[in-house]
Structure 1
Amino acid sequence: MQAKAKVKLSRSLGIALTPKAAKYMERRPYPPGQHGRGRKKESDYKNQLVEKQRLRAQYNISERQLRNAYAEAVRRTGKTGENLVSLLESRLDAFVLRAGFARTIYQARQFVNHGHFTVNGRKVDIASYRLKAGDFVQVRKKSRATTPFQLAAAGAWAGEVTPAYIESHLEGLIARFLAVPERKQIPVICDEQLIVEYYSK
């Protein structure tokens, strides 16, 4: 997805998916298009659909991937919506982003797919790989000298606060997934209950 398309998607969903989109939305905090500033009547279905699209966009996943994650969330004990977000947050590409190894979720997926990471010492190049509590994720030795990871080691992409479920050592380009996170710990913007209602129909 090109930069302009990401900005447009961000504006339509009301969330910044990239740093560039965040800057753009500060200047134009309304949806794109001729009627972006006007009020729109929104049905329950529309609200549910938007929340689903928001969650998909923040994890850069397909509809099929989200449906599969939802099906697993239903099978687990506890609240389905919270289970869903926790499952998605356990993906390797999401971890790479949160740990400060990548600037955006798009870049995180690209880095994983190109084989730049190991999990517990073994190369993993599947973005959807699900981490378990205690797993160590590290940038591979041959990748550490490249510019993106030198920037990461310097803290260029680290958030203001590292989530409590991640122990990150950027200088060494290694991080640990401490535990499957609770919903309140996960920095994604969505009302997961509306997503549950969408899929429950």
Structure 2
Amino acid sequence: MNRPRPKAKRSRALGIALTPKCVKYFERRPFPPGQHGRRRRSESDYSRRLLEKQRLREQYNIREAQMKRAFAEAVRRDGKTGDNLVSLLERRLDAFVLRAGFARTIYQSRQQVVHRHFLVNGRRVDKPSYRLKPGDVVQVAPGSRDKTPFQLAAAGAWAGSGPLPGYLEAKLPELKARLIAEPPRAQVPVVCDEQLVVEFYSR
């Protein structure tokens, strides 16, 4: 999903670095953008819930309509709605590509999926919103393996941001990964208080 607003400004507005490149900008100016960004502003309950919802949505780079659909499905599932919501979003193909170390950012992973660089269980998939099931195998298509981003991925260039989550296994030299189980919230590396997101949509 393309957004005209610079990612560094969005990072400062949300209070989180959306890309590795944004980290240095965020650390240098860790306050919202604009001439009133340094002022301490009292937050209402609504604004706190809205902020958490926006944080979660931006980290997965999805539209509001997609977020609402995921929340509606999370409500229908057994268990905690917030945990269900994060698990559903984490099983998106573009999110999986990022976690497995095939891409540096969620924006790059989305572009790679749309450009038909990935196979799921041997079939080419070009929908970032494609939802994986435990046991699904994702691999880079043979014709794409020689491209520079995937050569870097095979060398582990994008895997240094943190440990691999326990719900997937990846063989980077082979450019192949598998979803082992549904992602538990405790292992999903997103910055968000999902309970506030639930309260936002339940109001």
Per-residue CA deviations over 1:24-43 (Å, capped at 9, x if unaligned) read 11111111111111100100
Q: Secondary structure at the match of 1:176?
A: strand
2:101 maps to what in 1? 100
Per-residue CA deviations over 1:62-95 (Å, capped at 9, x if unaligned) read 0000000000000000010110000000000000
Per-residue CA deviations over 1:108-142 (Å, capped at 9, x if unaligned) read 00000100000111101100000000110000000
- One-letter code aligned to 1:173: L
1:144 maps to what in 2? 145
Q: Which runs of 4+ in 1 moved over 6 A?
A: none
- One-letter code aligned to 2:64: E
Q: Secondary structure at the match of 1:19?
A: coil
Runs of at least 5 residues in structure 2 that lack an aligned partner in the other structure:
none
Separation of aligned partners in 2, 1:69 and 1:100: 24
**Range 108-117 or range 24-33, more displaced:** 24-33
- Are residues 1:174 and 2:176 paired? yes
1:37 maps to what in 2? 38
1:27 maps to what in 2? 28
1:34-183 matches, within 5 Å, as: 34-158=35-159, 159-183=161-185
Separation of aligned partners in 1, 2:198 and 2:3: 30
- Residue 59 of structure 1 and its aligned partner are, at CA, apart by 0.1
Separation of aligned partners in 1, 2:74 and 2:164: 25
TM-score normalised according to structure 1 size: 0.97
**Range 83-92 or range 29-38, more displaced:** 29-38
Runs of at least 5 residues in structure 1 that lack an aligned partner in the other structure:
none
Separation of aligned partners in 2, 1:130 and 1:2: 23
- One-letter code aligned to 2:123: R
- Residue 4 of structure 1 and its aligned partner are, at CA, apart by 6.5
- Residue 97 of structure 1 and its aligned partner are, at CA, apart by 0.2
- Percent identity over the alignment is 68
- Residue 2 of structure 1 and its aligned partner are, at CA, apart by 6.7
Q: Secondary structure at the match of 2:156?
A: coil
TM-score normalised according to structure 2 size: 0.96
Q: Secondary structure at the match of 2:134?
A: coil
- Are residues 1:199 and 2:177 paired? no
Separation of aligned partners in 2, 1:166 and 1:83: 17
Separation of aligned partners in 2, 1:2 and 1:42: 26
